[in-house]
Structure 1
Amino acid sequence: ADSVISATPGHWYMWKIAKNGQAEPINHSIEYRPRRQERGLEFRENGMLYVVRTTSFLEAGMRYCGKILLYETPMGRSFEVDDDEDFALLESLMRNKWKTHPE
């Protein structure tokens, strides 16, 4: 592999807010909407890990290049901390885990 990125598997229905302010589907059609569990697995990049072969990076000038593989990260280990609310949630989870499973 030239690049490896960490990603979390799931069955998400993704949406975006269009310029007109309305919700638009990204990875599905509103005309055909099977149960999430019936969809194939998709992977959400989680930013935990990026590994790039130096020669590939220098040649391509970006971290996503050549043969790209995913390092699958379970949902319970793929939290992102982007704001105070994320931090508070993870702090609470860690405190509760420590109470039940001290190391």
Structure 2
Amino acid sequence: MAWLILFVAGLLEVIWAFSMKKSEGFSLLWPSVITIVAMAGSVWLLAISMKSIPLGTAYTIWTGIGAVGAFLVGIAVLGEAASPMRWLAAALIVSGLILMKMSSTS
């Protein structure tokens, strides 16, 4: 269950990153509210997952999901560049996440 909670925490990180971008420097109300609520939820779920997943593993996976998710949302929704080098970087992050999960004892 902790892994599912950690995954949802990572998804909330993607949501807050996207809504922060859309908030235009916290000058728009609803994207700003979504950012704050998603941030709080993401950190709360991360804390819950850390009850049974080691700190280094949980934090690495949480930030990795956020980074790769934000990368994908940037390409799919915001029209950001999808160069081969950026895809390679994302693939390396995912590889690291898989290795981190495989090496976890929880």
TM-score (norm. length: structure 2):
0.29
More strand by share: 1
Higher helix share: 2
Bigger relative contact order (CA 8 A; separation at least 6): 1
